[in-house]
């Protein structure tokens, strides 16, 4: 039975079929990098993220980030006492003084982005801070340093690669959404239904 064949044999057969398919064919050159000519800066990032359905907030000058976020969450979360799940890499000063809960139960997840791309409104999230915090909560807050905003997605990915791709990287560019039911847009289908980007 073919399915039971030796794995190496299958591999070599496929590669040999590829080679025989390509024999006599000219190898075509790689066209080089694509210049996507994206626009940079907080403004460009914000407007793209907002188009994607996310919310962008800038830390008020002089405010303590944790307290500030706590106040922001009071407005965004309609629960008496919102609970938070925090990613492994989030420094203490960015954590609001709210009760913590496991990501399965928390009302808010808090992460720090490694970087962002303005042209697509994309946040780069490493797996090392814990993926559940990024995925299981209804509201996901991502802290982002202004200096980490790239104009182009390609540059954001390059800098991520230099830092180390690790097991996985998540690119989040908006809230979870679907139009699979009657072409009506619904948010929060599986992942967070709200994405808030807090710019430092």
Partner 1 sequence: MDVRSRDYADLARTIIEDTPGVRKAVSGATAAFDAARRRAYAEIDAEAWRRWAEGVKNHVLTHLDQYLEEAEARLQENGAKVHWAGNAQEARHIVAELAQARGVRSVVKGKSMLTEEIELNPALEERGIHVYETDLGEYILQLLDEAPSHILGPAIHRSLEDVQALFADRLGTAADALPDDLAAAARTELRARFQEADMGVSGGNFLVAETGTLALIENEGNIRLTTSLPRIHVALVGIEKLLPTFGDLAGFLQLTARAGTGQAIGCFVSLIQGPATAPGDDGPEEVHIVLVDNGRTDVLADEHAWETLRCVRCGACLNTCPVYKQTGGHAYGWVYSGPIGAVLDPGLLGLEQTAPLPFASSLCGACFDACPVRIPIPDLLLHWRRAAQARGLTPLSERAGLKAFTAMATRPALYRYLGRVGPRLAGSSLFRRLPVLSGWTEHREPPEPSPRRFRDLWSEGIGE
Site for partner 1 in 138-177 (CB under 8 A): 152-154, 157-158, 161, 165-177
Residues in the chain: 200
By CB under 8 A, tell whether 25 contacts partner 1: yes
Listed ranges 55-63, 68-76, 94-102, 189-197: which one lies at the site for partner 1 (CB under 8 A):
189-197
* Contact mark string toward partner 1, 36..55, x via CB under 8 A: xx----------x--xxx--
* Rounded Cα–Cα distance for residues 115 and 42 (Å): 12
Listed ranges 18-26, 66-74, 77-85, 107-115: which one lies at the site for partner 1 (CB under 8 A):
18-26
Residues in Cβ contact with 48 at an 8 Å cutoff, skipping those fewer than 6 apart: 118, 119, 120, 121
Q: Which is nearer to partner 1, 62 or 104 (CB)?
A: 104
Q: Using an 8 Å Cβ cutoff, are 112 and 129 in contact?
A: yes
Listed ranges 7-15, 56-64, 68-76, 77-85: which one lies at the site for partner 1 (CB under 8 A):
7-15
- Candidates 150, 174, 152, 144; CA nearest to 41 is 150
By CB under 8 A, tell whether 130 contacts partner 1: yes
* Rounded Cα–Cα distance for residues 199 and 177 (Å): 23
- Helix residue ranges, H only, 52-126: 65-76
Listed ranges 70-78, 94-102, 108-116, 186-194: which one lies at the site for partner 1 (CB under 8 A):
186-194
* Contact mark string toward partner 1, 62..91, x via CB under 8 A: --------------------------x---
* Rounded Cα–Cα distance for residues 109 and 140 (Å): 5
CB of 84 to partner 1, least distance (A): 17
Q: Using an 8 Å Cβ cutoff, are 175 and 192 in contact?
A: yes
Q: Which of 13, 67, 105, 145 binds partner 1 (CB under 8 A)?
A: 13
């Amino acid at each position: 039975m073919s399915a039971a064949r030796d794995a190496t044999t299958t591999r070599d057969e496929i590669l040999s079929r590829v080679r025989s398919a390509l024999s006599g064919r000219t190898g075509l050159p790689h066209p080089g990098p694509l210049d996507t000519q994206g626009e940079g800066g907080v403004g460009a990032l914000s407007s793209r993220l907002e188009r994607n359905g996310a919310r962008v907030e800038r830390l008020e000058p002089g405010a303590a980030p944790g307290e500030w976020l706590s106040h922001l969450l009071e407005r965004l979360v309609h629960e008496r006492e919102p609970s938070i799940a925090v990613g492994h890499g989030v420094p203490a000063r960015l954590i609001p003084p709210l009760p913590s809960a496991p990501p399965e139960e928390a009302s808010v997840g808090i992460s720090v982005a490694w970087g962002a791309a303005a042209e697509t409104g994309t946040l780069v999230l490493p797996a090392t801070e814990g993926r559940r915090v990024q995925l299981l909560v209804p509201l996901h807050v991502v802290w982002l340093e202004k200096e980490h905003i790239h104009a182009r997605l390609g540059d954001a990915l390059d800098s991520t690669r230099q830092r180390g791709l690790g097991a996985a990287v998540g690119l989040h560019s908006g809230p979870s959404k679907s139009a699979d039911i009657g072409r009506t847009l619904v948010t929060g289908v599986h992942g967070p239904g709200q994405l808030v980007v807090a710019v430092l």
